[in-house]
Amino acid sequence: MGRGTVALDYTDRDASFEWYRKAKQRGVWDPESFDLEQDKADWETEFTDDERYQFVKLCSLFYEGEESVTRTLAPYPLAVGALEAPGFDTLQEEMFLTTQLWEESKHTEFFSRYFEEVFGTQDTDYGGFEAENFWNPELQSFLIDDLEAVSDELRRAVDADQATLVHTLAEAVAHYMGIVEAELARVGYKSLAQMLDAKGALPGFQAAIEKIEEDEGRHIANGRWLMAQLAEIDPTVVEEVYEPMFERFFDDLLGPTVMNIMGDNPLGIDADLLFRTAQGNYQSTVDSIGAERFEADVSAAGD
Ligand SMILES: [Fe+2]
Ligand SMILES: [Fe+2]
């Protein structure tokens, strides 16, 4: 902590500073700037009722997920700032996380705008359709209630001892960046991209998703880096936090989530591609943290 000296060491920049720099250059885009006129026309003419149902279901998950991550991120930079001598510059990481909070807000805004202007509703239960099985309860808990709980816990851990703080932060980062962003969001965006490619519709949506995905790439890369830093401070977090978290994802969350997205699958989403994407993302996370730190390949459990 600097007193009489510059707290940010500009000559010794971490990976987080590079993501912060990219955010300044690439993260500056406006959700209000996308023209949605063609999207409105496509929505009326290019989709059957069944397709609309599946698409809105996916977008509901995205809207709720983006709102959830926007609401729960604030304690993360506080917790990072409370780490004592963690082996990396906490200020650079805090600076990056401020860009992430702003970006999540914009993602929430874009989906909110899309619901209003294209779907003609703000109802994420989409009252126009039979709402049975619209949400998968385990996914809803993980994405909303549990993420809120771990964020609350992190807020309290800012004043706790360092061991508790590191452990709680590891749990929060694995939940938020490791699963919600690197797995759930990535799998969801993959299904959207595949479907929109095949359909060739909704150009405003496609353009915005490209920007959102780019933002998410930085959030995920930084999250993996932070998970590795925390494993460096306390190697027990891998076995006690990361592995059980991924086990829960592959055992209880991935299958039901994909099934929920699919339904009767009028849009022709490729479920195998989604499972492969999830496993590939898991492997990238493990490799970033250090494969030698992991005991078992928990991704096999979901097969
Ligand atoms: Fe986001
Ligand atoms: Fe994100």
Tell me: the pLDDT tens digits for 183-193? 999 998 888 88
Instruction: Report how far ligand 2's centroid is from the alpha carbon of 84 (Å).
Output: 26
What pLDDT sits at residue 130?
Answer: 43
Quote the pTM value: 0.94
Please say whether the beta carbons of 176 and 97 come within 8 A: no
pLDDT digits (tens, 9 = 90+) for 120-177: 988 887 644 444 556 677 888 899 999 999 999 999 999 999 999 999 999 999 999 9
Instruction: Report how far ligand 2's centroid is from the alpha carbon of 69 (Å).
Output: 7
In sequence order, the 6+-apart residues with CB closer than 8 A to the CB of 262 are 269, 271
pLDDT digits (tens, 9 = 90+) for 76-120: 999 999 999 899 999 999 999 999 999 999 999 999 999 999 999
In sequence order, the 6+-apart residues with CB closer than 8 A to the CB of 235 are 293
Instruction: Report how far ligand 2's centroid is from the alpha carbon of 45 (Å).
Output: 32
What pLDDT sits at residue 294?
Answer: 93
Per domain, the residue ranges of the chain are 38-302
In sequence order, the 6+-apart residues with CB closer than 8 A to the CB of 245 are 171, 174, 175, 178, 179
* Cα-trace Rg, the chain: 20
Instruction: Report how far ligand 1's centroid is from the alpha carbon of 280 (Å).
Output: 20
Instruction: Report how far ligand 2's centroid is from the alpha carbon of 234 (Å).
Output: 25
CATH topology of domain 38-302: Ribonucleotide Reductase, subunit A (1.10.620)
In sequence order, the 6+-apart residues with CB closer than 8 A to the CB of 122 are 112, 115, 116
Q: Which ligand is nearest to the CA of 182?
A: 2
Backbone angles phi, psi at 161, to 5 degrees: -65, 160
